[in-house]
């Protein structure tokens, strides 16, 4: 019991430190962008291990109309998520192993099938379009 509480407390403190760094004017690794708001959801895997899903709102992020040609958004994505060509062979070795989670709730297709191979994309990244009902975050 105590080890579970210690583990969850450690994870919570780690998430707080990471989010404080991301929101920092001085220490943000996303310069010239800075996290101004975030939404986080902590979940626990079947064996109790915590993990976080985090959605970040960036200061100075492009505000382009979604279309096939969104150069500022692509520039942001390639600036923040760039892979050196030396890592490409290693990336190719990452193989998904299906588990019970892939087909739970009656799914007939693995949820990870939605993700494409970033190396196959002409720009080295792919964009996930927001749902029509999503709105911009409120001003902090």
Structure tokens at 26: 């001085």
CB 41 within 8 A of CB 53: yes
Whether residue 39 is predicted with pLDDT greater than 50 in this model: the reply is yes
Q: What is the pLDDT of residues 88-126, one digit of tens each?
A: 676 666 666 777 777 777 777 776 655 544 445 544 455
Whether residue 9 is predicted with pLDDT greater than 50 in this model: the reply is yes
CA distance 105 to 138: 34
Beta strands of the chain (E only): which ranges?
A: 34-44, 50-59
Q: What is the pLDDT of residues 45-100, one digit of tens each?
A: 877 788 999 998 988 888 888 777 888 888 888 888 766 677 767 666 666 677 77
CA distance 73 to 60: 11
Tell me if the bond preceding 82 is cis, omega within 30° of 0.
no
pLDDT at residue 64, as a whole number? 84
Q: pTM of the full predicted structure?
A: 0.58
């Amino acid at each position: 019991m105590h080890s579970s509480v210690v583990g969850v407390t450690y994870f919570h403190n780690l998430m707080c430190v990471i989010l404080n760094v991301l929101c920092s004017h001085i220490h943000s690794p996303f310069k010239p962008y800075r996290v101004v708001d975030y939404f986080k959801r902590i979940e626990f895997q079947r064996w109790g291990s915590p993990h976080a899903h985090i959605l970040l709102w960036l200061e100075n992020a492009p505000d382009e109309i979604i279309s096939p040609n969104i150069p500022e958004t692509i520039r942001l994505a390639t600036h923040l998520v760039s892979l050196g060509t030396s890592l490409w062979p290693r990336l190719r070795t990452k193989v998904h192993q299906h588990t019970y989670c892939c087909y739970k709730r009656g799914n007939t297709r693995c949820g990870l099938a939605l993700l494409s191979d970033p190396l196959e994309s002409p720009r080295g990244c792919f964009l996930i379009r927001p749902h029509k009902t999503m709105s911009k975050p409120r001003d902090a």
